[in-house]
Structure 1
Amino acid sequence: MSGKYAVVKTHRTEPLRDAVRDALVHYFEQLDGTAPNDLYQLVMEQVEQPLFETILSHTGGNQSRAATLLGISRSTLRKKLAQYEIE
């Protein structure tokens, strides 16, 4: 293997999209008419942290490989790990 990873787009990504949609519907139901603030930031924070935790677990803690799989630089990954206090 050359160390390159391909992005594979399959129907398997749909459950993730559906889970996010369902979570947002539930979130709005819980608001009971109250307007949310900074919804984009809230969603990104809620999604990013488990994403980084899971990808690091998947790569055995290899940050270089994790960054490659995520399509981001190692520097960006390290900043995000620090932001979410992930070791």
Structure 2
Amino acid sequence: MEFKDPMGELLSSLEQIVLSRDTIKVAPALQAQPEIVPEPQRLRELTGMKIDEFARVMGVTVSSVKKWETSQSKPSATARKLMQLLHANPRLGQQLLE
């Protein structure tokens, strides 16, 4: 039986949703610079989320977000991918909170 990573599948599905909404505008930007991830604090401010909301959307603790924002630690690859999706569609964060 093949094991499937549920978080990976969720992020893949979210990516398809985000990219299908505005393929012409969003997809080339992500393809041209796939490793570009905005700073966590900047992204959080762009999305209009409080630190606790951002932590909930990212699936981490407030402490983890604070560490990212002060460069004491770096987000995981999964978190960076979700941050790319949030950057491509800032409203996604609010949708995930609902």
* Common fold: TM-score over 0.5: no
- Name which one, 1 or 2, has greater alpha-carbon Rg: 1
TM score, norm. by length of structure 2: 0.40
TM score, norm. by length of structure 1: 0.43
Q: Which has the higher contact order (CA 8 A, sep 6+)?
A: 2
